[in-house]
C-alpha cells in the first residue's frame, strides 16, 4: 500500500503497467517491485526447486526472488529483477517458473516432495541407467527446476561498445562515492562516477537521517547538481561496473534505454563500456543479510533495510502491520523509521537479551521468530520469547536484519581474499586488491554516514596524490556517526526448513547434509548444494551458508573462509557483449575484386575464412551444382576458364638478402632462382610438419613475390616476420603483405595464351619460347595498365595468373570476358578449381592438414639437406621417416559411378573397420568430368609401393564402403605436357 | 591488459598475438653436430614459471613488431617491454 505522503516519486504522473495478466498503476521513480507492493501485490515469483511462493527479499540488485520475464516478443528478457526494473508506462512483465499461474502452480507439488529433493538429489536419484540422463531426467529437471525462458525471436535493439579513460573511477554514488567525486572533481581530476541505480545517492535515498541540516536525499541531490556542473566529471547512473580486469581496465554496462518502452531513435538499448583508469575507488556500500528461520521465505518477509527503503524512498509499505526481527542496532533504525511514517510495528524482536528499548513498539529482547504462516503471503509469525513461551503475532510483513556484508565483490576479481572482521561480523576487503583500487565507506566496513563521507574524501585525496594531482580535504558536513553493534546470529534452530539461499532453495538442512557427506570446504559446499549460484551469486546467502558450516565443523568463520566473487557482479546480457557484431556484422566479409561482377553473373558464393568466393556460376537450365561444376571444368580444359584467385596471400619480399631469407623459410632452394622465374615452395614448421605451400616469383635480384594459401595468409606473414626480426635480425630484408593490393586472376586452358595476347601490350612477348612455364614478369596490359604475369598452373593446364592493382580488378574481369568471348571463356568457381587440382593431384588444405610432412605429400626430395631452413632438421626425425609412412596416392572406385566418401578410411578387403586395421584415409574426393569417374586422393601407408592394389574406402559415419584401386595422384596429364604447351 | 610498446606507447593487448617463451629466439644451428638434441630442447622444453616470464608478442594490428614482454604469470603485471629484434641481437643473433 502507498503511504499518503513522501517518497521520491512523482505522484502527479501515473504510469500503467501489467504483471501476471493484470493491470496496475505506479509513478515515475517506482521500480516494478515498489509499484507492485504499492498495489498490494506481495507474490511475485515461484522458487527454483520447490516452486514456493515468493515476494521481494531486497530493494536492489541483490534480489534472489522477484525474477520476472520483462517485455515480450524479441525484446523479452528472462530473470530480470523486479527490484531494479525502473517503471515505465506500458511495462509488461510475466512471472516465471509457474504454471498454470502464479497463484496456483502445479509443480508446487515439489514442495511436498522436498524430502527427496535435498542437496545433491539429482546426483543420487537419477543415476541409472546412464542413457536416461540426457534424454529423460535432464529435460524433466530442466523444465521443473528452471528460471525464465529466453525468447527465440531476434532482438530488434542495438547494443554498443565504447571506451572511456579517466584518472579516477568511483564505483557507487552513495555518501562515500559522492564525497570522493566532490573532492576529486574540485581538484580537477578526470573522474567517472558510476552507479547501478537510476537515482544516484545510494542509501541516502532510503534513509531519514540528516546531513548538514538537510534530509540525506536532499544533500545527495545538491551534491549531484554540483558534480553535474563540473566538466571533468562524467556521471553515469544506470551503469553497473561488473568486472575489474587487468591493468586498470573495468567493464561496465550502461542501460541507456532499459527504462523506456523502446529505445529512442538512433539510441542503443545498452552500452558496454571499457573503462581505462589510473585509480579506482570502490564505494559499493554493503548488503544486508537475512537470518534463517522456519518458513522464512514467505512473500512479505524481506530484509529490514529493504522494508525501510520501500517506506522511505517509495512511500510504500508491504502491509499495514509489520514486525522487525534483528540481531543488531540497524534493525532498530528500521523500526523507528516505520513508526515515524505511521506504519504499525507489532513488535521489534531482537535476539540480543540486552537490546536497548525503542519507543512506539514492544521490544521482545532475547526472542526469536520460530515459524510463520500464510501460503501466498505472510499472515503471522510465531515468536519464542526469552522466557521460553511462544507468542503469535498477526503481521503482513517482516523485516529481518542479520547484519551487513560489505560489498566486496569487485575486490575479489583478481587476487583479493576478504578477511573476517569481528567488529562488524562480516568480511572486509583484504589481500591483493586489483592494482590501483582502494575501498571506502560501507564497502570497507565503515557503516556510519560520517565514516563514509570521511572515507570517501580521504581515499580520493590519497588516490590523486598518487597521480601527482593536488587535492584538498573538504570540510565534511555534519552527519550521524552511530557505532555498529551486532551480536552474530545466523539461524534459529528447529526441525522445519529454514532458507539460506532463496534463489536456489538451499536450506540449513542442506548445509547439514553437505557437512554430513563430507562437502565441508566452502567451495565444495557451494557446488554440492548450489548455494550462491545463479543470477544473484549468493549476495544475500553466502554468508549464512558458511556461518552454518562453521558452526557444524566447530571452526570459526575466519577459519572457514568465504568463496570469492568473480565477474560479472550482476548478470550481463549476451546482446551487449556482442554489441554490433550480430547477423551480417558478426564478422567482416572480405569481397574479391570480381565480387560485383560475379553477383551479376548469378554466382553462388561460399565463405572461405572471411572471404566470400564464387563457388560456381550456374547457367540457365542447370539444375544441380554438379552440372555447373562439370561444365566449368570441361570448358576450362577444353578451351579457357578464368577464376578469381585474389584471396591467396601475397607477401612482397625485398632487400639484398631476400633470396637468402627465402632460402631459410622454404625447405627447398631459392637462392639460385633466376630473375623472371617462379618456383613452387614448401614451408615447414620447425617441427618438420608441412606448414604452407605456394609460389615465389623473382621480379628482381632483390625482389620476390611470395604467395600463400588463402587460409594461411596471416599466419605465414607472422611467421616470416618472426624469422626476420627474431631469428636473423641483421638480414637486409623487408616484408609487406600485399594480399589486398593486387587483384589476381587465373586464366587456364589451351586457349589461355591466345586470350592473354589480346590483353597484354605488344611490347611484351608471352610466346611459349619467350615466356615459358614458371616464368614471371612485370608487364603492362590494356594500353599501359601495370600488371604482373606469372605462368603457373594449379589446374594442370596451360595457365597464367595475371595481377593488376586492386582498383582495376573489376575492369579486368570484364575485359577478360570480353576478350575471351571468341574462345567461350568460362568463369569457374572454387568447386571447379578443387576438381581440377584433385585431378592433377595437387595438395591443398585438406592434405596440408597439420599432421603431414613433405615425405607424406610425395615432396620428400624437395627438402634440401644442404642448408638449414626452418623445419628441415626435424623433418628427418626417425618417427617421420618410417618405412610405412603415409604417402599421397590417387584412388579410383572399382565402379566409376560410385563416389568415394571424403574422410573414409582405407582398409584391406575383408578387414574389419576398426582402428587397428587402418591403412590411411581419404582427404579430397570429387567427380572428375575429365575421366568420367569419381576419384579421390588420400594418404596410404607405404602407398608408393602399393600402386595397382585393390583396397576399400569405408566411412563408418556415412555407412559407405567402396572398393577402390590405388593409382598415381596425377590423374590428368601426369607428364605435365599441357602446362608446358 | 595493456602493453607499453617501446615505440608506440600503451596499446591494448587485443592488438597483439601471443606466441610464447622468448627463448624461441634462440634457434640452434641446424647444421651443427648435435643439432637434433638441440632442436628437441629448443622446440619442446619450456620453462613454465609462476612469476616473471619473458614472452613473445606480435603487434599484428599495429606496427608488426615482435616484442619481448616480461609479464608476471600470476599477477599479469608487465614490468618490461622490449623490441624482440634488440633482444635477439643482444643474444648474439645477427644473420
What residues in B contact A666, CB-CB < 8 Å?
none
**Rounded distance, CA A518 to CA A301, Å?**
32
Q: Which residues are paired to A100 by β-bridges? A: A105
Q: Which of A522, A475, A850 has the alpha carbon at shortest distance from A689?
A: A850
CATH number (domain holding residue A27): 3.10.20.440
Within-domain flag for A715: yes
Whether chain B has a CB inside 8 Å of the CB on A726: the answer is: yes
Which A residues 228-257 touch B at CB under 8 Å?
246-249
Q: How many helices (H) and strands (E) does chain B have?
A: 2, 6
Q: Which of A400, A412, A429 has the alpha carbon at shortest distance from A289?
A: A400
Residues in Cβ contact with A465 at an 8 Å cutoff, skipping those fewer than 6 apart: A471
Pick among B45, B56, B66 to test the A interface (most A CBs inside 10 A): B66
Per-residue pLDDT tens digits for A515-530: 999 999 999 999 999 9
pLDDT confidence bin for A121, thresholds 50/70/90: low
- Is a pLDDT exceeding 70 seen at residue A602? yes
Residues in Cβ contact with A408 at an 8 Å cutoff, skipping those fewer than 6 apart: A416, A418, A427, A428, A429, A439, A443, A565
Within-domain flag for A123: no
Low-confidence ranges of chain B (pLDDT < 50): none
Confidence (pLDDT) at A353: 96
Joined grid coordinates for residue A392: 503469535
User: A147: cis peptide before it, omega within 30°?
Assistant: no
Whether chain B has a CB inside 8 Å of the CB on A435: the answer is: yes
Distance from CA of A730 to the nearest CA of B (A): 5
Give how far the C-alpha of residue A397 lies from the chain's centroid of Cα atoms, to the nearest Å.
41
Per-residue pLDDT tens digits for B61-78: 999 999 999 999 999 999
Across the interface, of B36, B60, B76, the residue whose CB is closest to A873 is: B36
Are A907 and A968 found together in one domain?
Answer: yes
Average pLDDT, integer, range A794-799:
96
Across the interface, of B30, B66, B75, the residue whose CB is closest to A868 is: B30
> DSSP states of A541-565 as a string?
THHHHHHHHHHHHT--HHHH-----
Per-residue pLDDT tens digits for A57-111: 999 999 999 999 999 999 999 999 999 999 999 999 999 877 777 887 777 777 7
**Ranges assigned E (strand) in A265-330:** 270-282, 286-288, 301-303, 321-326
- The residue with greater pLDDT, A103 or A187, is A187
| Domain termination residue (choose one: A466, A483, A516) | A466
Are A879 and A976 found together in one domain?
Answer: yes
Average pLDDT, integer, range A185-197:
98
- Record: contact A873-B25, CB cut-off 8 A: no
**Rounded distance, CA A510 to CA A119, Å?**
5
Q: Which residues are paired to A348 by β-bridges? A: A324, A363
What residues in B contact A726, CB-CB < 8 Å?
24-25, 56, 66, 84-85, 87-88, 93
Whether chain B has a CB inside 8 Å of the CB on A738: the answer is: no
Query: 3-state SS string over A711-739?
Result: CCHHHHHHHHHHHHHHHCCCCCCEEEECC
Nearest chain A residue to B60, by CA: A718
CATH number (domain holding residue A166): 3.50.50.60
What residues in B contact A722, CB-CB < 8 Å?
19, 24, 56, 58, 66
Distance from CA of A739 to the nearest CA of B (A): 15
Nearest chain A residue to B58, by CA: A718
- Strand A437-439 relative to strand A270-282: parallel, antiparallel, unpaired? parallel
Are A732 and A778 found together in one domain?
Answer: no
Within-domain flag for A347: no
Within-domain flag for A567: no
Distance from CA of B27 to the nearest CA of A (A): 7
- Is a pLDDT exceeding 60 seen at residue A957? yes
- Record: contact B64-A247, CB cut-off 8 A: no
Query: 3-state SS string over A443-510?
Result: HHCCCCHHHHHHHHHHHHHHHHHHCCCCCCCCCCCCCCCCCCCECCCCECCCCCCEEEECCCCEEHHH
What residues in A contact B88, CB-CB < 8 Å?
725-727, 729
**Ranges assigned E (strand) in A283-367:** 286-288, 301-303, 321-326, 344-350, 363-365
- Record: contact B60-A657, CB cut-off 8 A: no
Query: 3-state SS string over A169-236?
Result: EEECCCHHHHHHHHHHHHCCCCEEEECCCCCCCHHHHHCCCEECCEEHHHHHHHHHHHHHCCCCEEEE
- Strand A826-827 relative to strand A641-644: parallel, antiparallel, unpaired? parallel
Within-domain flag for A814: yes
Per-residue pLDDT tens digits for A649-682: 999 999 999 999 999 999 999 999 999 999 999 9
Nearest chain A residue to B72, by CA: A246
Nearest chain B residue to A725, by CA: B85
Are A829 and A887 found together in one domain?
Answer: no
A487 within 8 A of A456, measured Cβ to Cβ: no
- Record: contact B39-A873, CB cut-off 8 A: yes
What residues in B contact A415, CB-CB < 8 Å?
74-75
A605 within 8 A of A615, measured Cβ to Cβ: yes
A396 within 8 A of A301, measured Cβ to Cβ: no
Within-domain flag for A716: yes
Confidence (pLDDT) at A151: 87
Confidence (pLDDT) at A399: 98
Whether chain B has a CB inside 8 Å of the CB on A588: the answer is: no
Average pLDDT, integer, range A132-158:
74
Give the count of domains, chain A.
5
Across the interface, of A721, A722, A730, the residue whose CB is closest to B94 is: A730
Per-residue pLDDT tens digits for A921-949: 999 999 999 999 999 999 999 999 999 99
Are A179 and A272 found together in one domain?
Answer: yes
The residue length of chain B stands at: 95
Are A912 and A807 found together in one domain?
Answer: no
CB count in 10 Å sphere of residue B63: 11
Average pLDDT, integer, range A671-698:
97
- Record: contact B66-A727, CB cut-off 8 A: no
Q: Does B2-25+33-90 carry CATH code 3.30.2270.10?
A: yes
Whether chain B has a CB inside 8 Å of the CB on A687: the answer is: yes
- Is a pLDDT exceeding 80 seen at residue A355? yes
**Rounded distance, CA A120 to CA A250, Å?**
36
- Strand A270-282 relative to strand A159-171: parallel, antiparallel, unpaired? parallel
What residues in B contact A246, CB-CB < 8 Å?
1-2, 76
What residues in B contact A276, CB-CB < 8 Å?
2
Are A728 and A711 found together in one domain?
Answer: yes
| Domain termination residue (choose one: A422, A437, A466) | A466
Give how far the C-alpha of residue A808 lies from the chain's centroid of Cα atoms, to the nearest Å.
41
Confidence (pLDDT) at A130: 62
- Ramachandran bin of A32, using left for φ above 0, alpha for ψ from -120 to 50, beta for the remaining angles: alpha
CA distances (Å), A503 to each of A500, A507, B4, in order? 9, 11, 44
Q: How many residue contacts between A and B have a Cβ separation below 8 Å? A: 81
Are A636 and A712 found together in one domain?
Answer: no
Q: What are the φ/ψ torsions at residue A441 (nearest 5 degrees)?
A: 75, -150
- Record: contact B89-A722, CB cut-off 8 A: no
CATH number (domain holding residue A698): 3.30.70.1400
Across the interface, of B36, B83, B93, the residue whose CB is closest to A728 is: B93
Distance from CA of B90 to the nearest CA of A (A): 11
Average pLDDT, integer, range A504-524:
94
What residues in A contact B64, CB-CB < 8 Å?
721
CATH number (domain holding residue A623): 3.30.1360.120
- Is a pLDDT exceeding 80 seen at residue A114? no
Whether chain B has a CB inside 8 Å of the CB on A390: the answer is: no
Confidence (pLDDT) at A534: 87
User: A485: cis peptide before it, omega within 30°?
Assistant: no
| Domain termination residue (choose one: A721, A737, A753) | A737
pLDDT confidence bin for A147, thresholds 50/70/90: confident
pLDDT confidence bin for A136, thresholds 50/70/90: low
- Is a pLDDT exceeding 80 seen at residue A416? yes
Does ipTM come in above 0.95?
Answer: yes
Within-domain flag for A423: yes
Pick among B13, B35, B51, B58 to test the A interface (most A CBs inside 10 A): B58
Distance from CA of A880 to the nearest CA of B (A): 14
Confidence (pLDDT) at A112: 75
What residues in B contact A435, CB-CB < 8 Å?
75, 77
Mean per-residue pLDDT over chain A, rounded: 95
Q: What are the φ/ψ torsions at residue A83 (nearest 5 degrees)?
A: -75, -15
Across the interface, of B60, B85, B95, the residue whose CB is closest to A725 is: B85
Confidence (pLDDT) at A954: 97
Within-domain flag for A358: no
Q: Which residues are paired to A431 by β-bridges? A: A416
What residues in A contact B15, CB-CB < 8 Å?
none
A367 within 8 A of A387, measured Cβ to Cβ: no
Confidence (pLDDT) at A139: 67
- Record: contact A718-B17, CB cut-off 8 A: yes
- Record: contact A726-B35, CB cut-off 8 A: no
What residues in B contact A730, CB-CB < 8 Å?
89, 93-95
pLDDT confidence bin for A116, thresholds 50/70/90: low
- Record: contact B29-A868, CB cut-off 8 A: yes
In three-state secondary structure terms, A576 is: helix
Q: Which of A625, A686, A544, A590 has the alpha carbon at shortest distance from A832?
A: A625
- Is a pLDDT exceeding 90 seen at residue A584? no
Percent of chain A with pLDDT over 90: 91
- Strand A210-211 relative to strand A214-215: parallel, antiparallel, unpaired? antiparallel
Nearest chain B residue to A736, by CA: B64
Which A residues 693-722 touch B at CB under 8 Å?
714, 718, 721-722
Q: At what angle do helices A809-819 and A752-759 cross, to 10 degrees?
A: 120
Average pLDDT, integer, range A357-375:
95
Q: How many helices (H) and strands (E) does chain A have?
A: 23, 52
Dihedral angle, C-alpha A141, A146, A148, A154, nearest 10 °: -30
Across the interface, of A432, A686, A729, the residue whose CB is closest to B93 is: A729
Confidence (pLDDT) at A143: 61
Pick among A272, A687, A726 to test the B interface (most B CBs inside 10 A): A726
**Rounded distance, CA A686 to CA B94, Å?**
19
- Record: contact A247-B29, CB cut-off 8 A: no
Joined grid coordinates for residue B23: 627463448
Confidence (pLDDT) at A128: 60
Query: What is the extent of the structural domain holding A265?
Result: 159-286+406-466
Are A695 and A757 found together in one domain?
Answer: no
Across the interface, of A249, A276, A872, the residue whose CB is closest to B30 is: A872
- Record: contact B75-A872, CB cut-off 8 A: no
C-alpha count within 13 angstroms, C-beta hemisphere, residue B58: 19
**Rounded distance, CA A227 to CA A189, Å?**
12
Confidence (pLDDT) at A103: 80
Confidence (pLDDT) at A96: 86
- Record: contact A726-B17, CB cut-off 8 A: no
- Record: contact A873-B30, CB cut-off 8 A: yes
Amino acid at each position: 500500500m502507498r503511504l499518503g505522503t513522501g517518497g521520491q516519486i512523482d505522484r502527479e504522473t501515473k504510469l500503467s503497467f501489467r504483471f501476471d495478466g493484470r493491470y496496475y498503476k505506479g509513478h515515475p521513480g517506482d521500480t516494478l517491485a515498489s509499484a507492485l507492493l504499492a498495489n498490494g501485490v506481495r507474490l511475485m515469483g515461484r522458487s527454483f526447486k520447490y516452486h514456493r511462493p515468493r515476494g521481494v527479499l531486497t530493494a536492489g540488485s541483490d534480489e534472489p526472488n522477484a525474477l520476472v520475464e520483462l517485455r515480450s516478443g524479441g525484446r523479452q528478457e528472462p530473470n530480470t529483477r523486479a527490484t531494479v526494473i525502473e517503471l515505465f508506462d506500458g511495462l509488461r512483465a510475466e512471472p516465471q517458473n509457474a504454471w498454470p499461474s502464479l497463484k496456483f502452480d502445479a509443480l508446487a507439488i515439489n514442495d511436498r516432495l522436498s524430502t527427496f529433493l535435498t542437496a545433491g538429489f539429482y546426483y543420487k536419484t537419477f543415476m541409472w541407467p546412464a542413457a536416461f540422463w540426457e534424454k529423460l531426467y535432464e529435460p524433466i529437471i530442466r523444465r521443473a527446476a528452471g528460471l525464465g525462458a529466453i525468447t527465440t525471436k531476434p532482438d530488434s535493439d542495438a547494443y554498443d561498445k565504447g571506451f572511456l579513460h579517466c584518472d579516477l573511477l568511483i564505483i557507487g554514488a552513495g555518501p562515500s562515492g559522492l564525497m570522493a567525486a566532490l573532492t576529486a572533481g574540485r581538484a580537477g581530476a578526470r573522474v567517472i562516477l558510476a552507479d547501478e541505480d537510476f537515482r544516484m545517492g545510494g542509501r541516502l535515498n532510503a534513509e531519514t537521517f540528516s546531513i548538514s541540516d538537510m534530509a540525506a536525499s536532499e544533500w545527495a541531490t545538491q551534491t549531484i547538481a554540483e558534480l553535474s556542473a563540473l566538466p571533468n566529471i562524467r556521471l553515469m547512473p544506470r551503469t553497473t561496473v561488473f568486472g575489474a580486469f587487468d591493468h586498470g581496465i573495468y567493464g561496465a554496462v550502461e542501460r541507456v534505454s532499459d527504462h523506456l518502452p523502446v529505445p529512442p531513435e538512433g539510441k542503443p538499448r545498452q552500452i558496454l563500456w571499457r573503462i581505462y583508469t589510473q585509480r579506482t575507488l570502490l564505494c559499493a556500500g554493503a548488503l544486508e543479510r537475512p537470518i534463517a528461520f522456519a518458513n522464512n521465505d514467505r512473500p512479505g518477509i524481506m530484509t529490514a533495510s529493504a522494508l525501510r527503503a520501500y517506506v522511505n524512498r517509495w512511500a510504500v509499505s508491504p502491509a499495514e502491520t509489520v514486525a522487525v526481527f534483528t540481531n543488531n542496532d540497524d534493525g532498530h533504525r528500521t523500526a523507528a523509521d516505520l513508526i515515524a511514517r505511521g506504519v504499525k510495528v507489532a513488535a521489534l524482536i531482537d535476539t540480543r537479551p540486552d537490546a536497548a528499548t525503542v519507543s512506539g513498539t514492544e521490544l521482545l529482547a532475547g526472542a526469536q521468530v520460530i515459524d510463520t504462516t500464510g501460503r501466498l503471503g505472510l499472515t503471522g509469525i510465531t515468536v519464542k520469547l526469552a522466557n521460553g513461551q511462544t507468542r503469535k503475532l498477526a503481521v503482513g510483513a517482516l523485516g529481518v536484519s542479520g547484519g551487513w556484508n560489505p560489498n566486496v565483490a569487485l575486490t575479489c576479481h583478481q587476487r583479493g581474499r576478504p578477511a573476517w572482521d569481528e567488529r562488524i561480523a562480516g568480511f572486509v576487503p583484504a589481500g591483493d586488491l586489483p592494482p590501483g583500487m582502494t575501498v571506502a565507506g560501507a564497502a570497507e566496513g565503515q557503516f556510519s554516514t560520517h565514516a563514509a563521507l570521511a572515507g570517501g574524501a580521504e581515499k580520493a585525496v590519497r588516490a590523486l596524490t598518487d597521480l601527482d594531482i593536488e587535492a584538498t580535504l573538504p570540510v565534511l558536513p555534519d552527519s550521524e556517526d552511530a557505532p555498529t553493534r551486532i551480536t552474530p546470529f545466523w539461524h534459529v534452530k528447529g526441525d522445519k526448513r529454514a532458507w539460506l539461499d532463496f534463489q536456489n532453495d538451499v536450506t540449513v538442512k542442506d548445509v547439514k547434509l553437505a557437512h554430513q557427506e563430507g562437502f565441508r570446504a566452502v567451495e565444495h559446499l557451494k557446488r554440492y548444494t548450489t548455494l550462491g549460484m545463479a543470477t544473484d551469486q549468493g549476495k544475500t546467502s553466502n554468508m549464512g551458508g558458511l556461518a552454518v558450516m562453521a558452526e557444524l565443523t566447530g571452526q570459526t568463520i575466519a577459519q572457514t573462509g568465504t568463496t570469492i566473487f568473480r565477474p560479472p557482479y550482476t548478470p550481463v546480457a549476451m546482446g551487449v557483449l556482442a554489441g554490433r557484431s550480430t547477423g551480417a556484422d558478426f564478422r567482416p566479409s572480405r569481397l574479391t575484386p570480381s565480387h560485383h561482377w560475379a553477383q551479376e553473373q548469378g554466382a553462388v558464393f561460399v565463405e572461405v575464412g572471411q572471404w566470400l568466393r564464387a563457388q560456381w556460376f550456374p547457367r540457365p537450365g542447370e539444375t544441380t551444382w554438379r552440372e555447373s561444376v562439370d561444365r566449368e571444368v570441361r570448358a576450362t580444359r577444353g578451351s579457357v576458364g578464368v577464376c578469381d584467385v585474389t584471396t591467396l596471400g601475397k607477401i612482397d619480399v625485398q632487400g639484398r638478402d631476400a633470396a637468402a631469407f627465402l632460402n631459410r623459410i622454404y625447405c627447398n632452394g631459392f637462392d639460385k632462382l633466376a630473375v623472371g622465374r617462379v618456383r613452387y615452395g614448401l614451408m615447414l614448421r620447425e617441427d618438420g610438419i608441412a606448414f604452407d605451400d605456394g609460389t615465389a616469383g623473382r621480379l628482381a635480384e632483390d625482389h620476390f613475390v611470395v604467395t600463400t594459401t588463402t587460409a594461411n595468409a596471416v599466419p605465414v606473414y607472422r611467421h616470416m616476420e618472426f624469422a626476420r626480426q627474431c631469428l636473423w635480425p641483421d638480414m637486409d630484408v623487408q616484408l609487406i603483405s600485399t594480399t589486398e593490393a593486387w587483384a589476381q586472376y587465373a586464366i587456364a586452358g589451351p586457349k589461355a595464351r591466345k586470350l592473354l595476347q589480346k590483353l597484354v601490350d605488344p611490347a611484351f612477348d608471352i610466346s611459349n619460347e619467350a615466356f615459358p612455364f614458371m616464368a614471371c614478369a612485370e608487364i603492362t596490359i590494356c594500353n599501359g595498365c601495370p600488371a604482373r604475369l606469372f605462368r603457373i598452373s594449379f589446374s594442370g593446364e596451360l595457365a597464367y595468373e595475371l595481377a593488376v592493382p586492386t582498383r582495376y580488378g573489376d575492369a579486368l574481369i570484364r575485359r577478360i570476358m570480353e576478350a575471351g568471348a571468341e574462345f567461350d571463356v568460362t568463369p569457374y568457381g572454387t568447386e571447379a578449381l578443387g576438381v581440377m587440382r584433385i585431378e592433377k593431384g595437387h595438395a591443398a588444405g585438406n592434405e596440408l592438414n597439420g599432421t603431414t610432412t613433405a615425405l607424406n605429400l610425395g615432396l620428400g626430395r624437395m627438402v634440401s639437406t644442404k642448408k638449414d631452413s626452418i623445419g628441415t632438421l626435424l623433418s628427418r626425425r626417425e618417427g617421420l621417416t618410417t618405412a610405412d609412412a603415409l604417402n599421397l596416392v590417387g584412388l579410383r572406385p572399382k565402379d566409376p559411378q560410385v563416389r568415394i566418401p571424403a574422410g573414409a578410411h582405407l582398409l584391406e578387403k575383408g578387414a574389419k573397420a576398426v582402428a587397428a586395421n587402418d591403412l590411411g584415409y581419404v582427404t579430397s574426393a570429387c567427380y572428375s568430368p575429365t575421366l568420367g569417374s569419381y576419384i579421390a586422393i588420400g594418404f596410404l601407408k607405404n602407398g608408393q609401393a602399393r600402386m595397382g592394389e585393390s583396397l576399400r574406402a569405408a566411412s563408418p559415419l556415412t555407412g559407405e564402403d567402396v572398393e577402390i584401386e590405388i593409382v598415381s595422384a596425377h590423374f590428368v596429364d601426369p607428364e605435365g605436357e599441357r602446362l608446358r604447351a | 591488459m595493456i602493453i607499453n610498446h617501446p615505440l608506440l606507447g600503451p596499446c591494448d593487448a587485443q592488438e597483439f598475438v601471443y606466441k610464447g617463451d622468448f627463448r624461441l629466439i634462440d634457434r640452434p644451428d641446424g647444421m651443427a653436430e648435435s643439432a637434433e638434441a638441440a632442436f628437441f630442447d629448443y622446440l619442446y622444453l619450456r620453462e613454465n614459471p609462476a612469476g616473471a616470464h619473458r614472452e613473445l608478442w606480435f603487434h599484428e594490428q599495429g606496427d608488426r613488431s615482435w616484442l619481448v614482454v616480461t609479464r608476471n604469470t600470476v599477477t599479469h603485471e608487465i614490468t618490461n617491454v622490449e623490441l624482440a629484434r634488440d633482444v635477439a641481437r643482444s643474444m648474439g643473433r645477427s644473420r
